[in-house]
Amino acid sequence: MLGVVQPVEDVKQRLRPFGLFFERSLKDLIKGIRAHGDSPESLEKYLAEELSHCREEVNSLDMNLKSNAVLKLAYLEMYGFDMSWANFHILEVMSSTGMRNKRVGYLAASQSFNRDPDILILMTNLLQKDLKYSATGGNDTYKIGVALSGVSSFVTKDLAKDIVQDLLLMLNNSKPYIRKKTVVALFKVYLQYPESLRDTFDQFVLKLEDEDRSVVSATVSVICELSKQNPSIFIQLSPVLYEILVTIDNNWIIIRLLKLFTNLSKVEPKLKHKLLPKIVELMDSTSATSVLYESINCIVKGQMLSTDDFDVAMKCLKCLNEFCISQDPNLRYISCLLFYKIGKINPQFVEQFDELILHLLCDVDVSIRSKALELLNGITHDGNLKLIVSTLMKQFVNEEVVVIENYRNAATRDVPIVVPEDYKIKLVTTIIKLCSMNNFINIPDFKWYNTVLIDLVVVSSDLKDKTRLGSMIGEQIKSVMLRVPDLRNVTMTTIITILTMEKMNLSTVLKECVWCLGEYSKLIENGDALIQLLIRNAPHFNAETKVVLIPAILKLFGSWCNGPANQDLPSIKIVLNDMIDFLDTLTTSSSFEIQERSIEVSEILKLSLDAVEMQEQDNSDEGGLPLLLCEVIPGFFNSYELLPILAGTQRRLQEEGQISSVDLITPFLTQTELSNILKDYDEIQEDGLSHTDRLSDHDGKYRSESDLDDSVANDAGNAAAGDEVHDDLHFLEEQRRQEQLSNPFYLTEESEGTKATTNDLLSLDSNDSSKREDLTLIKLASENLTANAGKTGERKKRGKAKRAVVLADEVVIEPNPRADSTTLHQKVAALNKSDRGINLVTQSQLSSFDFSKKGDDRELDDAENEAELEKLRKKFAAQSLDTSNVSEPVEDQEEVIVIKKKKKSKKKKKKNEEDVPDESNTVQNE
């Protein structure tokens, strides 16, 4: 039996050097994984079995069997199995004399050694041995190539210090293959050990003049990559690199040189005058698309294109125009990127390419569409804004398809283009930015823009980023309402249309709409109907909208009570009761802001209700409205008209502390002024006359029933005083009318005979007939509509519509800028920027290294260590002196003595004195 087994083992041993194994090879492992891939359980079991076999084979004394096991472990690492436990066995395989085993060892080392830097200490001598070249050795060239490839994978700073001199010797090797691999390996060495680049810079740069083109290409590529870390080092090479660019005819080297000059021109602007003519000449002489694109990229990213250089810009844009209409989607995408960068330099450069950009908006590739959206700022003007917005809005509705042809059977099929939601969100954002840029300078018709805003509300209701989109749309509605006073009726129509939508999911839009309703409540004639609408829809509002709703309904109520139509007290009383009941439900809200506002407004309305009831008890039809309704409530909000101001004004004032100068302690009225106001009010209450009667009657003859007995005595005096008051009021009224006529933003009031019928805007609830009977239609103020109708007639007579006047921001004196203008948000963003995601880039110290310092690094390290030791000595000495200043020591206490040793001096030992200390500070306890 033993005689049969022994020859089989001998045959296996003889066949293994030829790559024939009777154990399971890597090929068998892959076949087994595919065979057990039906279920995760069977695959996991199979992998566990193979891993146990590898553990047994890797301990074998046979180097070929050990190499086969290491190769399978390197493959199993892709499935998540750790192989760092086999690092010592990998090192043994690397030391093998066979070329096949050595390649397997370096492959496994490149995957495993970067996680265990300690193992690199054991392989330093092995690596230096493999890097030695012998002209007589047959496989030395490929052995060195394998070693250089491994160095690029697992080199560290300590390893780079040990092998950098060996690599420099190999730069002069007679084999171009070795010189090229050495140049590439030095790239990783320079990243880990920047001092070596400073010391070997001249030797490395000589490879730019190498006789072999592959070595020159590798050197240019390494310099290009190093320049991304610290381009200032290679500015001195500009003449040599420019000479290569002029004489070389290899497109790959030209592309790398253009990338290199892109990095260098950012730190040396003088290169522009030398490089730009050559690059333009290169664009005329070459037909390679890659060289043309890289030339344009070098001009744009290298900051060689100025804002007034139209000739070079047009040349670049014409080339990009051809790239954008090509069949290659990658070329179209990167061309859009350069188009955008050129447009940022000067928007006038891309104005004549509007047809191309509109064509890219309908591209099959959605990523190209997304980049084309960023180009619209440069081509948008008042003549094509409607076309651009309509093109973008159609992408929300139309289902686009692409026709795919099958060349085998000549069949075609339609595949729909899937538009992602992120692109739709970008569409909405782009439309708003285009319309609102430069204070609505591109909008020809604000009625059209109001329609666009309504459409944006509809399409944004189904998108995921509702909060941000709703805020943007709401800001636009508020801005149009504030800045375009001529068309506030149209904007009010838009607001009420949005409020009455059935499916309304943008709560942030409702917040701004409700604010506009309260701020411009005078535009609504039947405010009671609008108040009922808001109260009924309030349960569907969020907390932020309810905070704005509470003062809004108070403004609406005040404007409705003091409107042109005389409201009777019973109607006012009904609305007051409804508002009080609604506010009472908000007093128990979970939001403190809602509670506070609802209680404040509720108390004001309760006082108003008491005043209305007292007015009804007087049975005075000519008494008018109480003081709270006609003066107090409107006085809360009608002190002045809101105007647009510069963004960030309040924040800048707070930063400069200017708001703190406002006196918040001294009352607005003195005690004497407050007493006079209260005294006048008491007199009015005693007379039984409302404040409205005294202001509305100009002859001064109205008086209360209690004054009838004194009417005969005071008749003559009252008549004279009435004439004087009548004349004064008439003069003031005439003066106010003249100011209104001279104000272009004031909507003039037509005579009663020319008043048009009220405009029924929207029904509150068309589905509920009972509510339709109870609530009237929301109507805009008739005088405003009539004024607008008159203006519309004038425009028709002129034949051309006149653009609405848009109010600009008020000029606000900005405070002095701070020395550190970086905001807290920017600082936090900068700190978090480096922590986002996993960094797969090779760590380098090259960007922060100072190449101006020369000398032995070890001497510098020793000097730094000596300085640190000196600081520690002083620190311990100071602490010891503090303890020695204490009062005389007690017998139980220990005396602390600090002794310093002077440099280069020795003291003899003295009897009955302290011992001689060592090199460092010593603290002796006696």
pLDDT in tens, 378-392: 888 888 899 999 999
Whether the Cβ atoms of residue 170 and residue 144 lie closer than 8 Å to each other: yes
What is the spatial distance between Cα 193 and Cα 840, in angstroms, rounded to a whole number? 19
* Of 2, 6, 4, residue with least CA distance to 14: 6
Q: Is the dihedral of CA 69, 74, 77, 82 positive or negative?
A: positive
Instruction: Give the pLDDT confidence score for residue 61 in this predicted structure.
Output: 86
Alpha helices in 98-156 (DSSP H): 99-112, 119-130, 140-154
What is the spatial distance between Cα 336 and Cα 514, in angstroms, rounded to a whole number? 42
Higher pLDDT, 871 or 108: 108
Q: How many residues comprise the chain?
A: 926
Q: 855-861: long-range contacts (C-beta < 8 A, 24 or more apart)? A: 857/195
Instruction: Give the pLDDT confidence score for residue 630 in this predicted structure.
Output: 84
Whether the Cβ atoms of residue 290 and residue 296 lie closer than 8 Å to each other: no
Instruction: Give the pLDDT confidence score for residue 240 in this predicted structure.
Output: 92
125 pLDDT above the threshold of 70: yes
Burial class (CB in 10 A: 0-12, 13-18, 19+), 258: buried
What is the spatial distance between Cα 24 and Cα 33, in angstroms, rounded to a whole number? 12
Check residue 497 and report its DSSP letter: H
Instruction: Give the pLDDT confidence score for residue 17 in this predicted structure.
Output: 60
Pairing of strands 401-406, 411-416: antiparallel
CB-hemisphere CA count at 13 Å for 778? 28
Pairing of strands 922-925, 896-899: antiparallel
Higher pLDDT, 706 or 179: 179
What is the spatial distance between Cα 330 and Cα 506, in angstroms, rounded to a whole number? 37
Whether the Cβ atoms of residue 315 and residue 279 lie closer than 8 Å to each other: no
Q: 153-210 pLDDT, tens per residue? A: 888 888 888 889 889 988 988 889 999 999 999 999 999 888 888 888 989 999 999 9
What is the spatial distance between Cα 255 and Cα 297, in angstroms, rounded to a whole number? 10
CA 129, 132, 137, 141: dihedral to nearest 10 degrees?
A: 110
What is the spatial distance between Cα 385 and Cα 681, in angstroms, rounded to a whole number? 59
What is the spatial distance between Cα 466 and Cα 456, in angstroms, rounded to a whole number? 11
**CB neighbour list of residue 664: distance below 8 Å, 6 or more residues apart:** none
What is the spatial distance between Cα 858 and Cα 856, in angstroms, rounded to a whole number? 5
Instruction: Give the pLDDT confidence score for residue 297 in this predicted structure.
Output: 93
> Average pLDDT in the 681-707 region?
46
* In the chain, where the domains are located: 446-637, 652-836, 845-925
Instruction: Give the pLDDT confidence score for residue 449 in this predicted structure.
Output: 93
Give bridge partners of residue 403 from the DSSP assignment: 414
What is the spatial distance between Cα 337 and Cα 316, in angstroms, rounded to a whole number? 13
Q: 828-844 pLDDT, tens per residue? A: 444 444 444 434 445 56
Tokens of 418: 């899937």
Of the chain, the percentage scoring pLDDT greater than 90 comes to: 23
811 pLDDT above the threshold of 70: no
Q: How many CB atoms lie within 10 A of CB 430?
A: 20
What is the spatial distance between Cα 178 and Cα 301, in angstroms, rounded to a whole number? 35
Among 244-248, 284-288, 561-565, 889-893, which is the least confidently predicted range?
889-893
Whether the Cβ atoms of residue 153 and residue 135 lie closer than 8 Å to each other: no
137 pLDDT above the threshold of 90: no
716 pLDDT above the threshold of 70: no
CB-hemisphere CA count at 13 Å for 231? 15
3-class secondary structure, 155: coil
Instruction: Give the pLDDT confidence score for residue 700 in this predicted structure.
Output: 39
Among 287-291, 602-606, 732-736, which is the least confidently predicted range?
732-736
Whether the Cβ atoms of residue 142 and residue 106 lie closer than 8 Å to each other: no
What is the spatial distance between Cα 259 and Cα 172, in angstroms, rounded to a whole number? 27
Across 243-257, 503-517, 705-719, 779-793, which has the greatest mean pLDDT? Answer: 243-257
What is the spatial distance between Cα 69 and Cα 26, in angstroms, rounded to a whole number? 9
Instruction: Give the pLDDT confidence score for residue 618 in this predicted structure.
Output: 74
Of the chain, the percentage scoring pLDDT greater than 70 comes to: 67
**CB neighbour list of residue 920: distance below 8 Å, 6 or more residues apart:** 869, 873
Instruction: Give the pLDDT confidence score for residue 507 in this predicted structure.
Output: 83
Q: 443-471 pLDDT, tens per residue? A: 988 999 999 999 999 998 888 888 899 99
What is the spatial distance between Cα 521 and Cα 527, in angstroms, rounded to a whole number? 8
Instruction: Give the pLDDT confidence score for residue 63 in this predicted structure.
Output: 87
Strand segments (E) across 394-550: 401-406, 411-416
pLDDT band at 13 (very low <50, low <70, confident <90, very high): low
Q: How many CB atoms lie within 10 A of CB 806?
A: 18
678 pLDDT above the threshold of 90: no
How confident is the prediction for the chain on average, in pLDDT?
Answer: 75
Q: Rg of the Cα trace of the chain? A: 44
Q: 506-560 pLDDT, tens per residue? A: 888 999 999 999 999 888 888 889 999 999 988 888 899 999 999 999 999 988 8
> Average pLDDT in the 19-25 region?
63
What is the spatial distance between Cα 2 and Cα 854, in angstroms, rounded to a whole number? 72
Secondary structure (H, E, C), 477-488: HHHHHHHCHHHH
> Average pLDDT in the 226-248 region?
90
pLDDT band at 739 (very low <50, low <70, confident <90, very high): low
Q: 890-925 pLDDT, tens per residue? A: 444 434 444 444 444 444 444 444 444 444 443 334
3-class secondary structure, 198: helix
> Average pLDDT in the 596-617 region?
89
